[in-house]
Structure 1
Amino acid sequence: MKKILMASLLAIGAVTGYGQKVKPALKLIKGNSYYLSTTAHSVVKQTINGQVNNIDMAIDGKMSFKVLNVNDSLYYMEVNYTKVGMKMQLPTGNVAFDSDNKDTTNIMARIMSGITNKPFTATLTRSGRIRSIENAENMITSMIDGFKEVPAEKKEQLKTQLTQSFGSGALKSNLEMAMSVLPETVVAKNDKWTIKNNLEGAMSAKVISVYQLVDITPQSYVIHGNATLETDNTAGYKTVSNMPMKYNMKGTMVADVVVDKATGWISSSKLKQNIDGTVEIKDNPQVPGGLTFPMSVTSETSSTDH
């Protein structure tokens, strides 16, 4: 009888532990800095007028997030790029840009250097949602205005291009894609929750992610996610490379994320993405009559907290 009772108690304890509710959330300390180092590898395949045009791109960067203030529901943070680098294999040859490159004749290296250690502010909820990004455009403007040798028209083109990647809207959506994985409510192991994001930049898209708490360890929450991405086909054309373009793309993403229990900060993450569709270039002086061509993008992104 005692053995039966003990077995019953152990079984009840196991079930209770399995269904234990937890609330993964940011628990950051005012004055402390937290880091996100990211490495991304992408392959873009395009076929334009029957000619295959592939681009192999690697990006690595590091960002710091200093907690300036905290209230009951929000974190106010000073954010800096501390390092940015890019390597591209193009049909015309290879290029590389790095924020550590001090070559003043390389405009892209100067841009990479120009966006590092230029703080902007971010407001985050305890579940990692980005409420707002401020001062990003000022960072871009002050940097481009410092290029005295660049003609005014070229400066405006650079500002437009950089805003698509580093403006407030683009930064907000990119940071949310990287950090917005935590649930809004308590969850148990194997529970799922859905997060919807709007991706902004040269390509506008809606992302719907379904995350699942797959494991709880003494130090971490282990989260798996599956997502679908689809561009907003009702959106108008955007200026990309000085031409009006529209992306008609859809695809999937798979994410595996480890979250530190003590801070709620992402310890590590891996993301795989596959999207394809078409790109429309509207009639313009560079492409008379316009052009539509197929494009696919496969990418793998890894992030760590150091």
Structure 2
Amino acid sequence: MKKSLTLLMLFISINSYAQTARLELNLKKDSTYNITINADMDIDQLINGLHQIVKTTISGTTAHKVIAIKDTLYEMEVIYKKLGMHMEFGGKVIEFSSDLKSEDLISKFVRSMINKPFGIVMSRRGKIVEVKNIDSLFAGVIKDFPPISDAQVAQVIAQMKQSFGEKSIKGNLQETFVIFPKVPLAVKGNWTTVNATEAAAISLTTKTTYTLNAIADKYYDVSGTAVITSDKVPAFKKSGVYLIRLMQPSGRYTARMKIDKTTGWVTESQITKDISATAQIKKTEAGPIELSYPMKILMKFTGAN
């Protein structure tokens, strides 16, 4: 009896590991898939021997409607349904949100971006192939802000495009999605992806090793560990009255997520990211670097469908 029970348990164990799964997106035309992100980010800047801490909380919800399916590609219409940020540094608080009725310029600008569609093309493996029509996010902004000059609006648009430009959005969206393996995997199987990201004043490469931890009734349990390295020398970007860039970024991150077995959509995710870099600041493009200091960024964010 004991021998039979032992053999049965061994058979069940072997069978569960032998089970394979093809992880990929299986989305339906005219269906809409949502993602809500909440991120806490602490930036520690060591300037002239003093630590300056910036604490930021970012939240947002995006809706992705599949408008066409072409071979292995999904064409989607994406809208921001909600955007917000809370920042604390040096005893000051900056806050803006699409939900706030505040008349400050940034909140008004963010509210103007809500429900304005832009396009993305994504492969069945979860890779963002293209981001399109980003200028639609900023269409009509000038007429929406009659109290300020056209030049002031243009300046705000230029700064906002650093966070919501084509490259930034492509990089941020790609971090939300898993790039799936090319072949079916068994439980405990793993695969590796390499992704380049260029956003604002930073350019980096992330090499991630994913593991299929378990196959549940309704979802796949997947984890990932990544090594972050410098990609190329980034250009200086405008930040207030200064120009800034982050040099030689490096770090790691870990991720744990649930992936819907039917759609391949990430329904839950928890990610911790730790990055170190050197910030360089100058006043003009042709001018010398006036300040250089180390910076550490710790980010924890959760995502849900």
- TM-score clears 0.5: yes
1:194 corresponds in structure 2 to 192
Q: For the structure 1 residues 56 and 5, does the alpha-carbon distance in structure 2 shift closer, same or farther, using more than 3 Å as the test?
A: closer
Q: CA RMSD for the aligned pairs?
A: 2.3
Are the structure 2 counterparts of residues 31 and 271 from structure 1 closer, same or farther at C-alpha, using a change threshold of 3 Å?
Answer: same
Equivalences for residues 8-19 of structure 1 within 5 A: 11-12=10-11, 14-19=13-18
Q: Deviations over 1:239-277 (max 9, x none)?
A: 333433221221111000100101111110000011112
Deviation at 1:106, TM superposition (A): 0.7
Q: Match for 1:279: what amino acid?
A: A
1:171-210 per-residue CA deviation (whole Å, 9 max, x = no partner) reads 1111111113422221111111111111121111111111
- Which residues in structure 2 correspond to 1:141-290 (within 5 Å)? 141-144=139-142, 146-202=144-200, 203-248=202-247, 249-282=249-282, 284=284, 290=290
What amino acid sits opposite 2:210 in the alignment? Answer: Y
For residues 228 and 242 of structure 1, the distance between their equivalents in structure 2, rounded to whole angstroms, comes to 33
Task: Report deviation, 1:12.
Answer: 4.6
User: Kindly tell me: are residues 183 and 133 of structure 1, through their superposed partners in 2, closer, same or farther at Cα, counting changes over 3 Å?
Assistant: same
CA distance in 2, matches of 1:219, 1:252: 30
Contact in 2 for aligned 1:140/1:162 (Cα 8 Å): no
The structural deviation recorded for 1:96 is 1.5
Distance 1:268 1:274 in 2: 20
Task: Report the 3-state secondary structure (helix = DSSP H, G, I; strand = E; otherwise coil) of the residue aligned with 2:122.
Answer: strand
Q: 1:257 to 1:181 in 2, by over 3 A?
A: farther
| Structure 1 residue 10, shift from structure 2 partner | 6.4
CA contact (8 A) 2:116 2:136 kept: no
* Greater Cα offset, 66-75 or 215-224: 66-75
Residue 113 of structure 2 corresponds to which residue in structure 1?
115
CA contact (8 A) 2:79 2:115 kept: yes
Q: Distance in 2 between matches of 1:178 and 1:289?
A: 34
Stretch moving more, 232-241 or 21-30: 232-241
Show CA shifts across 1:126-177 (max 9, x none).
1111111111123125335633343344333322221111111111111111
The change in CA–CA distance for 1:49 and 1:5 in structure 2 (over 3 A counts) is closer
Contact 1:256/1:271 (<8 A) preserved: yes
TM-score by length of 1: 0.90
1:133 touches 1:172 (CA, 8 Å); kept in 2? yes
Distance 1:12 1:85, change over 3 A: same
CA contact (8 A) 2:159 2:239 kept: yes
- Structure 1's unaligned 5+ residue stretches are none
Give structure 2 stretches of 5+ with no counterpart. Answer: none
Instruction: Give the Cα separation in 1 of the matches to 2:24 and 2:289.
Output: 52
2:125 is paired with a residue whose SS is coil
Q: Answer yes or no: is the 8 Å Cα contact 1:280–1:291 preserved in 2.
A: yes
In 1: Cα distance, 2:143 partner to 2:181 partner: 42
Match of 2:104?
Answer: 106
Q: C-alpha separation between the residues in 2 aligned to 1:109 and 1:52? A: 29
Amino acid at match of 1:209: T
Paired residue secondary structure (1:204): strand
Change (3 A) 1:168 1:95: same
Q: Say whether 1:129 aligns with 2:121.
A: no
Deviates more, 1:263-272 or 1:63-72: 63-72
SS of residue paired to 1:162: helix
**Distance 1:229-1:240 versus aligned 2 partners, 3 A rule:** farther
Other structure's SS at 1:200 match: strand
Residue range with higher mean Cα deviation, 237-246 or 161-170: 237-246
Q: Counterpart in 1 of 2:304?
A: 304
- In 2, the alpha carbon distance for the partners of 1:219 and 1:276 equals 38
